[in-house]
Chains A and B, each alone.
Chain A
């Protein structure tokens, strides 16, 4: 594998013993990887507000939970609204050392939770919203969401999705919130430093985490990180930060501003069964989509 990160500290030690072994995630699931990073940054001072999503199940059954953090399970559409309430209550009570984190999937964010998300962003609520994006409704058995990419098979798009993926991070940038970032479970240290940065910013912070799902994307569970990294290395998924009105390309994505350095998208697509029916025409469309995204990045980072 290329691009293996070798920086050792502080992530592993901070992450130890907070996401607890014996959870109910599928083998190779990216979600606990991201949760480990979150708990490395916020520890037991995180209050996770979690709508219906894979994590509702992963954390296990009453009276236990597979994480040393506080968790509020909430209805599908309400993560940002409940988090707003928690945050305002803490503020009213003068509690400053706890961090309110909405932790939602792509369905709970890009689809049913969009109104509440937009409302909380517009009010600039003092919360961190993390959208972990496995690009479909995985918990209910792989149905299409607005975050499913073009061409991907799901149980409700048996011949592949026709539309492009909804770009939620851009929508949040349009809200003028203090901090927006994209990240990936393939790059835990990038996510770690983004969460550290977000931790020290007041107001609404949004982090979009790309999270490849082995059963949903139809690849073997050992390839979760490989697929996540390929998304970045092909330029399909771009890591950046938007802060104080400025977009900065993040380290792992920086080389790929140069199209010549990008791996062919086919490498990413061929690894996943969900793209089995993708035609050459569609691959060309996907390539065009990648170019357009990079064009936007270049424009924004000038």
Chain B
């Protein structure tokens, strides 16, 4: 049997817990921004499956929704989208 007992000196231990944004708001890394055309979106989930940062959620009602706080703008979603519903636009060009 094992019992977890905290160190008596309240020592700092090298332990980590799940956290969103461990590397900060990684959306700031972006040069290009993916934009979804919901009318073209077929809800095939390809972008959600492949998004390397888990910032895309596809729901039947909304289509693909991107969390721009953390989207790094890699463009992978646009490349895998089979219906051309995601296009990359320059971040500063808006």
Q: Do chains A and B touch in the complex (CB under 8 A)?
A: yes
A68–chain B nearest beta-carbon distance, Å: 4
B69 within 8 A of A: yes
* Chain B residues whose C-beta falls within 8 Å of the C-beta of A21 in the assembled complex: 20-21, 26, 53-55, 67, 69-70
Cα(A11)–Cα(B21), bound, Å: 23
**CA of A28 to CA of B75 in the docked complex: distance in angstroms?**
8
Chain A proximity of B60: nearest CB distance (Å): 10
The complex places the Cα of A59 from the Cα of B15 at a distance, in Å, of 13
Which chain A residue has the least Cβ–Cβ distance from B21? Answer: A22
**Hey, what's the 0/1 contact readout for A181-224 against B, CB within 8 Å counting as 1?**
00000001000000000000000000000000010000011111
Shortest distance from the beta carbon of A137 to any chain B beta carbon, whole Å:
20
- Give the shortest distance, in Å, between A271 (CB) and chain B (any CB): 12
Binary interface encoding of chain A residues 6-30 relative to chain B, with 1 for a CB under 8 A from any of its CBs, else 0: 1010011001111111111101111
A61 at the interface (CB under 8 A from B): yes
Interface size class on chain B is 35 or more
Give the interface residue-count category, chain A: 35 or more
Which listed residue (B29, B51, B80, B88) contacts A4, Cβ 8 A? Answer: B80
Q: How many residue pairs at the A-B interface have CB separations less than 8 Å?
A: 138
Residues on A with C-beta less than 8 A from B54 are 15-21, 32, 36
Does B7 sit within 8 A of A, measured CB to CB? no
User: Is A66 engaged at the interface, CB distance under 8 Å to the other chain?
Assistant: yes
The complex places the Cα of A1 from the Cα of B53 at a distance, in Å, of 22
**Do residues A220 and B75 form an inter-chain contact, with CB atoms below 8 A?**
yes
List chain B residues, Cβ under 8 A from A19: 54
Cβ–Cβ < 8 Å partners of A33 in chain B: 49-52
Q: Find chain B residues with CB under 8 A from A232 CB.
A: none
| Contact flags B56-73 to A (C-beta < 8 A → 1, else 0) | 011000000001011011
Inter-subunit contact A59/B22 (CB<8 Å) = yes
Asked whether any CB of chain B lies closer than 8 Å to the CB of A77, the reply is no
Judge whether A288 is part of the interface by a CB distance below 8 angstroms.
Answer: no
Could you name 24 residue pairs across A and B whose Cβ atoms are closer than 8 Å? A6-B44, A6-B82, A12-B49, A12-B58, A16-B54, A20-B20, A20-B54, A21-B21, A21-B67, A22-B26, A22-B53, A22-B69, A24-B22, A24-B23, A28-B75, A32-B54, A60-B22, A61-B22, A64-B16, A66-B18, A67-B18, A222-B74, A223-B76, A225-B79
Question: Chain A interface (Cβ within 8 Å of chain B)?
Answer: 1, 4-6, 8, 11-12, 15-25, 27-33, 36, 59-68, 71, 93, 188, 214, 220-226
